Copies of this chain bind each other. A is one copy, B any other.
Amino acid sequence: MPEFPSRRPPRVRIENPWPMIDCGRFPVKRTAGDVVEVSADIWRDGHDIIRADILHRGPGARTWSRSEMRRIDAHLDGDRWAGTFTVTEIGRWQYTIEAWTDEFATWRDELARKVEAGQEDLASELLEGVLLLEQALDRIDDDSDRRIVERAIEQLRDETLPPPERHAVALDSLLGGAVERWPDRRDPSTLDAPLEVIVDRERARFGAWYELFPRSWGGLRGVREQLPELKELGFDVVYLPPIHPIGHRNRKGRNNALVAGPDDPGSPWAIGSELGGHTAIHPDLGTIEDFDALTAAARELDMDIALDFAIQCSADHPWLTEHPEWFNHRPDGTLKYAENPPKRYQDIYNVNWDTDDWQGLWKALLDIVRYWVDHGVKVFRVDNPHTKPTAFWEWLIREITATDPDVIFLSEAFTRRARLVGLAKAGFTQSYTYFTWKNTRWELEQFIGELLSPVQREVVRPNLFANTPDILHEYLQHGGPPAFATRLVLAATLSPTYGIYSGFEHFENVPVRPGSEEYLDSEKYEIKSRRLDGPLLPFIQTVNRIRQSNPALQQFANITFLDTQNDGLIAYAKQSHGNTVVCVVNLDPHHAQEGSVHVPDHLGLPVAFMAHDLLTDERYGWHLGPNYVRLEPPFRQAHILRIEGP
């Protein structure tokens, strides 16, 4: 005997749903208020009319809401269907697709075609309709709709009515509506399992970051005093490298010297001393009360304080004695410092992820994050996450966001693409990227193009830092102030989320040695005296204000690169909610570049329009097709053009 399916399989097939990442293994990302478009190939055998809904539910909801799907034209002969729903609150949403045969609509459609063809002997068809309407009555829960259907049944049964009148009753749109509102969804087809959307707060998508070492700004109080000015400059997130006690043993000296001088403060990433570990604050920076005051002040200004989460311990970290089982040991029983042969990091101990007490270790790390969340930290910049188990991050981020869905995790994944994307899929809200190393037009277009690929655009949110304490690119070393302006505009307009590390606005550009991307006299190993007085700050403020007043600059995937007839000039349009911004940037910090920016028809702009440069307040008459541009250093490296009426 053959083996049969356990029940008669539903007729409708749902294939290739999108968005769906790795067969539904990972969620896609959105921010609150976004519209999610869901599509799929939906079809069945034969000619019957089918219908499909998106089913969706917000965080914690048990019942599904529905949005109707409709055929769209462009793809696969009309078997592609799509619909949308809006994610209104942050947290983990679910969606799936339900599709079914609409027997009543099929019956009406066939009847209509027969009537149209002049067929007259349709008594049997009308009786079929009566059966379908009687079944509909079992579903209809609204008196008005019931009355419409009951009246139709009566008329369809009334043999004294001439057939044309009865056909008209059957085909009446009022009747169609009454039945359509109560669809017969017996035996629907669905996806095997619901798919998920992580919905974050807006800052996960849109924000300007400023990185500073608090020890160079007068500690936590000093930082707090800068917040209003940073806010005024347009920054939303102030990111602090680790603020914890720094180890003594094997402390690094200035310029990464192997031996520290007596006054050297050490690297903040050598975490832990006799004063505490990842939940302690370096006494030179202040107290936990100072910290609470800092996060409170930031909250007041609608800003975020971002903390560094670096899972590593100095030789003096309390865990080394409290939990030796969480660390790697040599065969002779001693602890094993970090190394990536032949490099040795004698000042740092990595945890042993293969420890038998992995649950204890994971829990302790979770507790660290929870501790800071409880002290008002809603943004974490995670150090080198690609050297820790991806499954750990997936677990930690899920645990934290289950109770605190407003927490944002930025992945410092300066690593190969598969790992960068893999960490984003596993849950990181945002990711550092290769941006600093992409300086030519081709590199930038290819780099952004990859982030726009179908999977990456759903899961990777790039945070384009123009510099970091570890990365002073040679473009900045040699390009002078125009290079800084160029990179600032690129970072701030290519992506809605970008950042700079303090010193950028002072055009700091001296490497520790030729060929290195490390800063000379790096702040990682010494204390600076910093103030918000860099000459580039007014320009940065202008750019940040432009970002804030143009919705097109608050999205990422809305980018279209434009031809410029000159590889020294990059141009791109961003469009959102009726707002169009065209950016033109001179990639050459030394020479004027001229070209023509081609505005293609498909942007949907009028034939002629004004291009309003928001950096200079100049207005240019532009049109579809080529538009001449010329940008000359040192003072004009970019146009940020808002497209306005003609």
Question: Contact: A43 with B77, CB < 8 Å?
Answer: no
Question: Contact: B330 with A78, CB < 8 Å?
Answer: no
Residues of chain B within 8 A of A388, CB atoms compared: 45-46
Is A131 an interface residue, CB under 8 A from the partner?
yes
User: Which of B22, B358, B389 interacts with A45 by CB under 8 Å?
Assistant: B389
Q: Once the chains are docked, how many angstroms separate the CA of A110 from the CA of B328? A: 16
Chain B: minimal CB distance from A131 (Å): 6
Is A395 an interface residue, CB under 8 A from the partner?
yes
Chain B: minimal CB distance from A122 (Å): 10
Q: Once the chains are docked, how many angstroms separate the CA of A422 from the CA of B340? A: 50
Residues of chain B within 8 A of A340, CB atoms compared: 47
Question: Contact: B113 with A342, CB < 8 Å?
Answer: yes
Give 1 or 0 for each of A404-430: 1 = CB within 8 Å of chain B CB.
Answer: 000000000000111100100000000
Question: Contact: A359 with B4, CB < 8 Å?
Answer: yes
User: Which of B15, B22, B389, B399 interacts with A22 by CB under 8 Å?
Assistant: B15
Is A128 an interface residue, CB under 8 A from the partner?
yes
Within A28-57, which residues are at the interface with B (CB < 8 Å)? 41, 43-47
Q: Once the chains are docked, how many angstroms separate the CA of A261 from the CA of B448? A: 72
User: Which of B43, B339, B422 interacts with A15 by CB under 8 Å?
Assistant: B422
Residues of chain B within 8 A of A111, CB atoms compared: 341
Residues of chain B within 8 A of A161, CB atoms compared: none
Is A604 an interface residue, CB under 8 A from the partner?
no
Give 1 or 0 for each of A530-564: 1 = CB within 8 Å of chain B CB.
Answer: 00000000000000000000000000000000000
User: Which of B22, B45, B76 interacts with A386 by CB under 8 Å?
Assistant: B45
Residues of chain B within 8 A of A577, CB atoms compared: none
Q: Once the chains are docked, how many angstroms separate the CA of A3 from the CA of B403? A: 13
Q: Name the residue on B nearest A113 (C-beta).
A: B341
Q: Name the residue on B nearest A334 (C-beta).
A: B124
Q: Name the residue on B nearest A342 (C-beta).
A: B117
Question: Contact: A9 with B418, CB < 8 Å?
Answer: no
Question: Contact: B341 with A45, CB < 8 Å?
Answer: no
User: Which of B117, B131, B342, B395 interacts with A116 by CB under 8 Å?
Assistant: B342
Residue from A2, A119, A332, A387 whose CB has the most chain B CB atoms within 10 Å: A2
Question: Contact: A395 with B5, CB < 8 Å?
Answer: yes
Residue from A13, A332, A341, A359 whose CB has the most chain B CB atoms within 10 Å: A341
Q: Name the residue on B nearest A339 (C-beta).
A: B110
Chain B: minimal CB distance from A18 (Å): 13
Question: Contact: B77 with A2, CB < 8 Å?
Answer: no
Residues of chain B within 8 A of A419, CB atoms compared: 43, 45, 79
Question: Contact: A330 with B2, CB < 8 Å?
Answer: no
Question: Contact: B331 with A128, CB < 8 Å?
Answer: yes
User: Which of B2, B8, B109, B366 interacts with A363 by CB under 8 Å?
Assistant: B2
Is A72 an interface residue, CB under 8 A from the partner?
no
Copies of this protein, total: 2
Q: Once the chains are docked, how many angstroms separate the CA of A3 from the CA of B358? A: 13
Q: Once the chains are docked, how many angstroms separate the CA of A419 from the CA of B113? A: 24
Is A390 an interface residue, CB under 8 A from the partner?
yes
Is A151 an interface residue, CB under 8 A from the partner?
no
Chain B: minimal CB distance from A19 (Å): 14
Is A147 an interface residue, CB under 8 A from the partner?
no
Question: Contact: B330 with A391, CB < 8 Å?
Answer: no
Question: Contact: A342 with B119, CB < 8 Å?
Answer: yes
Is A372 an interface residue, CB under 8 A from the partner?
no
Within A310-352, which residues are at the interface with B (CB < 8 Å)? 330-332, 339-342
Residues of chain B within 8 A of A119, CB atoms compared: 341-342
Is A375 an interface residue, CB under 8 A from the partner?
no
Is A607 an interface residue, CB under 8 A from the partner?
no
Chain B: minimal CB distance from A388 (Å): 6
Residues of chain B within 8 A of A418, CB atoms compared: 15, 41, 43, 76-77, 79-80
User: Which of B77, B331, B342 interacts with A416 by CB under 8 Å?
Assistant: B77
Is A127 an interface residue, CB under 8 A from the partner?
yes
Q: Once the chains are docked, how many angstroms separate the CA of A16 from the CA of B456? A: 13
Could you list 24 A-B pairs, sorted by A, with CB under 8 Å?
A: A1-B363, A2-B362, A2-B395, A8-B358, A11-B353, A11-B389, A11-B391, A15-B418, A16-B22, A23-B23, A43-B422, A45-B388, A45-B419, A46-B387, A47-B340, A76-B416, A76-B418, A77-B417, A78-B416, A110-B341, A111-B341, A117-B342, A119-B341, A128-B330
> Besides A5-B391, A128-B330, 14 other CB < 8 A contacts?
A1-B363, A2-B366, A11-B353, A13-B390, A15-B22, A15-B422, A46-B386, A46-B387, A46-B388, A109-B341, A110-B339, A114-B341, A117-B341, A124-B330
Give the 9 A-B residue pairs with the shortest CB-CB distance, closest first.
Answer: A117-B342, A9-B391, A127-B331, A79-B418, A23-B23, A113-B341, A77-B416, A110-B341, A124-B330
